[in-house]
Structure formats: C-alpha cells, structure tokens
C-alpha cells in the first residue's frame, strides 16, 4: 500500500511538472506574440505621426537677406545692433549678408575723422552755388517743423556718391547674391527703398541689372528730400512700389527721422502686403517683443511665398 502511494505521488509530481513546463512554454509564446503585435502597432503609429508632421513642416528653402547699415555705421556695428531681430528670424533666414557703404561719413563738430563710419550718399561740400536746387539728406525742404530733422545737411546731393553706391550694391548682388530681400536702417533704409525703385527701371546696365529681390524691411525709413533718385533711368518715380512686400518699423520718439517721414515711405508701398509697426523708442534698432514677433511672422510669410 505504501509503495503504491509513493508511485502515485511520483506520477502526480511528474504530471504537475509537465503541466507547469507546458504552461510556461505557451505563456512565453503568447507573450512574445503580444509583444510583436505591440511593436508593430507602435511602429505604425510612429509612421503615421511622421507623415502627419511632414505635412506641417515648411519645405521651402530659407531666405537670404542683404543688410544696409545707417549713416556713420558699418557692418560690425550694424550686426551688433540687429542681433535681437536676427535671432527672432533665424528659423526662416539662412543668411544675413552685411555690406559696408563705399564712402566715409562726414566728420561732425570738427572731430578727427573716425575710421569705419560710412555713408551711402553725401552732400556736395565745395560747390555752394545758390542756383543749384537744394537737396537735403535728413529733413524736408518744407518749413513744416514736424518733419524737420536735427541732422540735416542743408546742402545739395553729391550725385557721384549716390551712383557709386548703387554700383557697389549691384556688384554685391552679382558676387554674393541672389538675395530674397533687403533690410535697411535709416540712410540704409532710404537706400533700400531706392533699390525697389531701381527694379522698376528698364534696360539697366551691369551691375545694376543684377539687383533683384522680392521684399524689403525698413527701420526708421524715409524718402530723402531728393526723392528715390536713381539717375536718368526712364521710370515714373511717382508710381507706388506695390510689387514689393514690405515691413516698416519706426520709433514714436524718433527725432532724427520723424514718424511723419516714415509714414510717407509706408504710403509709397500702397498695397495689402505692407505692414507698419511702431516701437516706443527713438532712432534705433528696437528689440521689443512685439517688433520681434512682427518680423518673425513677416519673414515666415516671405518664406512661404517662395513656394
């Protein structure tokens, strides 16, 4: 009887061991199958998400912009002044190219000539014949005090300096372009506006014929009192520059370029694709958040327009 009980117990133990072994084997197979299914599901969701995200990504190339500094500035000083704005637009711009103007700025108040202070155009300093029409760089020819600047030259424009700058910029477009847009401050902004005017001329000679872009950004921009003068090209300078998208940024307390003068430049670009943003400061490159946001959105639109 005892031997039979022992044999029974051994048989029972073997059966239970086999059962446990089979259970583990089937359980492992089931778990492995479940894991494989879960992995497949995760991979499928990942592919679907990637496809969805790709539809929302801007696939066009980034913008390339030519930057024109203000009077008595240079590429180094302008690069520093625009740091905040450039960082705001870096997601849409591949390169900001800075160009020095070709002329030394006039020395103020009898000070020694300072190296590295440049100008895009200058007044005549020798011939003061009263019969020559008076062109002013920084103020209006009218007697309206609301538009007058504290930094007017009250001298005629030296046309040779203007033409030299246009050729200088044309060579930059030829050698470092193409550019999608231009970005100018003060006298550089006035020069950028003239470049827009230039593109409406016909039969331009080299290197001016290389000047070509789609949009412009103006900070403390204005129309010089000599107008958007570009020479003897056959062009109607009274026509609005409606083919260009533009962003105009001006200071409410700017005493150098009064707000009324910046507004006149805004009106020159009379279309639905221009924007005017004011900041609380004076004659400077602002870094206020609403200005940075406006610039970033403007650049996004210009990039989208590339197709």
Query: What is the pLDDT, as a whole number, of residue 201?
Result: 84
64-304 belongs to which CATH class?
alpha beta
Query: What is the pLDDT, as a whole number, of residue 133?
Result: 42
Residue 236 among the catalytic residues: no
Residue 180 among the catalytic residues: no
Catalytic residue among 186, 220, 225, 246: 186
**In angstroms, what CA-CA distances link 281 with 81, 124, 149, 253?**
14, 32, 16, 6
pTM equals 0.75
Query: What is the pLDDT, as a whole number, of residue 39?
Result: 63
Query: What is the pLDDT, as a whole number, of residue 47?
Result: 60
Query: What is the pLDDT, as a whole number, of residue 148?
Result: 53
Catalytic residue among 92, 254, 262, 279: 254
Mean pLDDT for each 10-residue chunk of the chain (307 residues)? 54 62 55 57 58 51 97 96 97 97 79 73 67 43 50 74 95 97 97 92 89 97 81 67 93 94 91 88 96 97 91
Domain coordinates of the chain in residue numbers?
A: 1-57, 64-304
Residue 186 among the catalytic residues: yes
Q: Which of 221, 231, 146 is nearest to 184 (CA)?
A: 221
Query: What is the pLDDT, as a whole number, of residue 14?
Result: 65
């Amino acid at each position: 009887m005892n031997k039979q009980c022992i044999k029974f117990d051994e048989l029972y133990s073997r059966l239970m061991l086999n059962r446990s072994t089979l259970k583990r084997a089937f359980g492992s197979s089931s778990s492995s199958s479940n894991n494989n299914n879960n992995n497949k599901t995760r991979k499928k969701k990942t592919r679907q998400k990637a496809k969805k995200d790709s539809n929302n990504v801007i696939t066009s190339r980034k913008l390339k912009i030519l930057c024109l500094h203000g009077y008595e500035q240079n590429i180094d000083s302008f690069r520093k002044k625009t740091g905040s704005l450039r960082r705001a637009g870096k997601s849409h711009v591949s390169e900001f190219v800075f160009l020095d103007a070709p002329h030394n700025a006039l020395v103020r108040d009898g000070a020694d000539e300072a190296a590295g202070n440049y100008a895009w155009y200058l007044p005549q300093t020798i011939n003061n014949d009263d019969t020559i029409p008076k062109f002013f760089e920084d103020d209006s020819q009218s007697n309206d005090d609301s538009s007058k600047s504290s930094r007017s030259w009250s001298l005629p424009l030296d046309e040779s300096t203007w033409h030299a700058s246009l050729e200088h910029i044309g060579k930059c477009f030829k050698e470092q372009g193409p550019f999608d847009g231009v970005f100018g401050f003060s006298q550089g902004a006035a020069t950028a506006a003239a470049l827009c005017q230039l593109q409406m001329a016909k039969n331009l000679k080299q290197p001016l014929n290389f000047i070509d872009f789609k949009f412009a950004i103006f900070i403390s921009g204005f129309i010089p009192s000599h107008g958007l003068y570009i020479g003897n090209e056959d062009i109607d300078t009274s026509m609005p520059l409606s083919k260009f998208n533009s962003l105009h940024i001006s200071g409410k307390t700017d005493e150098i370029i009064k707000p009324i003068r910046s507004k006149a430049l805004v009106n020159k670009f009379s279309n639905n694709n221009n924007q005017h943003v004011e900041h609380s400061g004076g004659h400077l490159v602002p870094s206020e958040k609403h200005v940075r946001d406006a610039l970033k959105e403007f650049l996004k639109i210009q990039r989208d327009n590339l197709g």
